[in-house]
Structure 1
């Protein structure tokens, strides 16, 4: 019996916790009426990046399987254990899922999870988009250029990043090695603003237009800037961080060496650290935009160097 024009939902059992509860991969499959590529969409590889789950819920709701060419496979919560604890790493073994692909069926629970994602999801795809975010506190906004620049640009974010060296052990480490066109998106986080959710939805739909999966014209991208140098700034001192800019500064240009934040000892009121912009022409990629507790080594800011960027920024 043909599955064309239908939807299905399956939960692939990965393992069981000590209390008997199943750890599963929730996979939605939308079968288009017409033939076409298999596109995979995933989110919540990191458990504190919950915006991706909402983006994928809305994408699923807006796809018309009767007009779809190909198949869309959606893994909205890739790491249930980390999602439950709202942590970047899997709490049972404190391992970062996005550093252990392709995984190991005989390894730590995170490695078992990665192996199951490969076997039941990634290995079945013709194209792939993986959603990430700033986490529970910071907000971020850019798209990686991996192995298909046109597909990355079709997400229509104004800022892209061409890394000189990619992280090893990510989902895209596996898919790119298999020649699967892949896009890694970093969007939102922290307050999970509505505008960021909708930009994520529209970005995926436009990539589907680019792949000729939905019968709509591709929306032309805005003026785009490609950064090749990003400085990750981690505070050296913990305390209460007071930023000099709010979240609206994400994507904006800061000229010269300016103060980004000040961190104070909440008990003595002593100023412990002042964080400055690292470049002469800075573009804000990730930031903390509210007064918050910060620990030494947390993600504080990600700042791109516009002096080494490709193309002229219009931001």
Structure 2
């Protein structure tokens, strides 16, 4: 009798899954029809004049209806923690158990990744996270931004862009979201998404009446399209640390639970620190930069943060803190040019 009951249960479960999948239309992505409960990986070609590259994207189309979430990693090719987290994420996603669709951009900037290029695409020397929404007839970097904007971001109900500290950058992990006063619904949805990521620090970008300028940044392109968008900053110094990779991975899965793409409860952090304003400290000189401070350190206005010497080691200037706050990220190695950023400080008052 128990065997019969089990057989009936399995049959009903299978029938229910097949019925649910039949009610979900295929997801059309760059000409590919992806059936409910399946996934598809594509190499999306990007061509600009004589230059070309690809964007590796996996589409996970759930067996049940739900929102479309876009994820980008590797906008900067030396930010390895997000890239490695994106490589591992598919192991945790089963489309037959998902509600909705996930568009995972494994690596947005393949040329920068393969050439180990700091911040910019070596093909045209442009920073991908400074050219959104891109141009259909632009250089290769501008064309990558255009393709991501039109083929990925425009298809989404929610969006997240994942970054880390680059090869010259010591960074404290945090989540971020855009807050514009004339977009209260989108801003609030983004805030809730940011909280669901499970970080104890959350940075508010914007905090202005409205977004009137070009999007420039990947996640702000989503915001400009009235799509709730968040950022992750996790990882440091352009290195792969298991702790950071796992933290990003768990944050993305938690976000999917918040959006009810996956079953279960999202992460919960009681009273995360909200950073509404940041101040950058830049170098006025070229030479060597020295500082014993690290990301996450709390600092006070007028305290000495470090100093700069010329190419002979002669002292040029002390670096003085402009505000009370916490160091979100800083340059940690010696080479420095005039205008280079030294510190980014989140205000704590």
> What is the alpha-carbon distance in structure 2 between the residues aligned to residue 169 and residue 256 of structure 1?
31
Q: Tell me if structure 2 keeps the 8 A contact 1:139–1:187.
A: no
Match of residue 37 from structure 2: 5
Corresponding residue for residue 286 of structure 1: 329
* Cα distance in 2 for residues equivalent to 1:31 and 1:181: 20
Unaligned 5+ runs, structure 2 = 1-25, 27-33, 179-186
Residue 168 in 1 paired to residue 215 in 2?
yes
Alignment RMSD, CA only? 2.3
* Contact 1:81/1:90 (8 A) holds in 2: yes
Structure-2 change in CA distance of 1:65 and 1:139 (3 Å): farther
TM-score using structure 1 length:
0.86
Are 1:77 and 2:98 matched, yes or no? no
Within 2, Cα distance between the matches of 1:192 and 1:299? 23
- CA deviations 1:248-299 (Å, max 9, x no partner) are xx23423453322222335x221223212221x321101234x432233223
Cα distance in 2 for partners of 1:90, 1:152 equals: 28
- Structure 2 counterpart of 1:127: 158
1:207 paired residue number = 255
Separation of aligned partners in 2, 1:54 and 1:222: 28
Report the equivalent of 2:65: 35
Partner Cα separation in structure 2 for residue 185 and residue 155 of structure 1:
8
Q: Does the CA-based 8 Å contact 1:90-1:97 persist in structure 2?
A: yes
2:141 to 78, 88, 110: 110
In the alignment, the residues of structure 1 paired with residue 96 and residue 145 of structure 2 have an alpha-carbon distance, to the nearest angstrom, of 32
For residues 201 and 155 of structure 2, the distance between their equivalents in structure 1, rounded to whole angstroms, comes to 30
Listed one character per residue, the Cα deviations across residues 190-215 of structure 1 (whole Å, up to 9, x for unaligned) are 13433222221111111111101111
Indicate whether 1:231 and 2:279 are aligned.
Answer: yes
Check the 8 A contact 1:17/1:23 in 2, yes or no. Answer: no
Contact persistence 1:130–1:185 (CA under 8 A):
yes
Q: Which runs of 5+ in 1 are unaligned?
A: 308-315
Query: If each structure's helix is expressed as a fraction of its own residues, which one has the higher value?
Result: 2
Secondary structure of the 1:66 match is: helix
2:140 corresponds to 1:97: no
1:158 is aligned to 2:200: yes
| Residue 265, structure 1, aligned to residue 307, structure 2 | no
Distance (whole Å) between structure 2 residues aligned to residue 257 and residue 138 of structure 1: 23
Per-residue CA shift, 1:164-218, capped at 9, x if unaligned? 3577322233322322221122222313433222221111111111101111112
1:20-64 per-residue CA deviation (whole Å, 9 max, x = no partner) reads: x74111111122232211111101222332321112122222223
User: Does the aligned pair in 2 maintain the 1:227–1:304 contact within 8 Å?
Assistant: yes
The verdict on how the C-alpha distance between 1:76 and 1:94 changes in structure 2, with shifts beyond 3 A counting, is same
